[in-house]
Structure 1
Amino acid sequence: MLGKKRKLGKKIDELNVGDTYETSCEVKDKDLLIYLGLTDDANPLYLQHDYASRTPFERPIVPSIMLQGMITSAVSMHLPGPGSHITYQEIQYPVPVYHYETLHLLFKIEAIDEEENLVHLQVKGTNASDEEVMSGKLHVIAPYEPDSLNSISLENFY
């Protein structure tokens, strides 16, 4: 890790109210199985077709926390990007997401608090039928410019 340069996301002074980021995510069996294995979540609504078919959902649905992971990934990798951190989130899931669906996510900067290095984001997710499957708001700390290693390692010489 050391010595390998990695690009940070946009710092607070590089962001503007109204900036957006859009992406699409496909829900795959592989991702569902990894999630269920990591969390030891045995909810039959997520994987068992025979159980889910006898519910109002009619077929297995995607766990909402897995959808949250798609949101987190987009924030961590794109807006603001690497080095950012979500401190608050309020997400609603009005319509279930089913296996194999492709979701379209739209992120928009609603406000910026430069003093706190905080970005207020709005997120909206839709499925292929353009139904809103998730919406909400996030507060995200933008990446900080790290202190120079040279200034720290040579501080005794100044």
Structure 2
Amino acid sequence: MSLTITDLFIGQIASLQRTFNESDVRLCSELTKDYSPIYQVNKEEWRSNYSKPIVPGLLTEGLITQVISEKLPGSACILLQKELVFYHPVHIGDMISAELEVIDINLNRDWVTQKVTCYNQAGIEVIKGQVVILVLTNQDVR
């Protein structure tokens, strides 16, 4: 789906689900050079605070941007702002549902604000916040 800014409307919702695994975390660590032991299955540091190793926040944010790039709007856009609160950890093996809802459209600037809510497989809200994106149009070639 590829929507233009005029196709969008307040209240429009899109979502995706993903289960994060050890391989995802390893790849994220290699790309970001963040080798914190809290993410490593073979390390013990995570055991003092969590029941299982956690998934890096950056990786879970990737699911949010995937909803933007594939579904809402599913067209060329640039992330301008994100404000996210991580209420609960995302663990390796968790299935996360990311839901985005259009809450504001600024046609003068081609900006769209979306409410972000992410849940785990138990229905527990793990991330909440909002993003602002610039929806690129044919006139936006810069």
The TM-score normalised by the length of structure 2 is 0.91
Q: What SS class does the counterpart of residue 138 from structure 2 fall into?
A: coil
Name the structure 2 match of 1:18.
Answer: 11
Report if aligned partners of 1:88, 1:138 keep a CA contact under 8 Å in 2.
yes
Distance 1:44 1:98 in 2: 14
Matches within 5 A, 1:94-113: 94-113=87-106
1:27 lines up with 2:13 in the alignment = no
Figure out how many residues of one structure are paired with residues of the other and give that number: 139
- Calculate the aligned-residue CA RMSD, in Å: 1.6
Structure with the higher strand share, 1 or 2: 2
Q: Write the deviation string for residues 51-92 of structure 1: whole angstroms up to 9, x where unpaired.
A: 211x22132101111111111121122111130111010011
Give the whole-Å Cα distance in 1 for the aligned partners of 2:64 and 2:138: 24
Q: Tell me, yes or no, if the aligned pair for 1:18 and 1:108 is still in contact at 8 Å.
A: yes
Are 1:42 and 2:20 counterparts? no
> Deviations along 1:21-74, whole A, 9 cap, x unmatched?
011111022211111111121100001442211x22132101111111111121
Q: Can you give the 5+ residue segments of structure 2 that lack an aligned partner in the other structure? A: none
AA paired with 1:50?
E
For structure 1, the residue ranges without an aligned partner over 5 or more in a row are: 1-6, 148-158
TM-score calculated relative to the size of structure 1 = 0.82
Residue identity over aligned pairs, in percent, reads 22
Secondary structure of residue in 2 paired with 1:136: strand
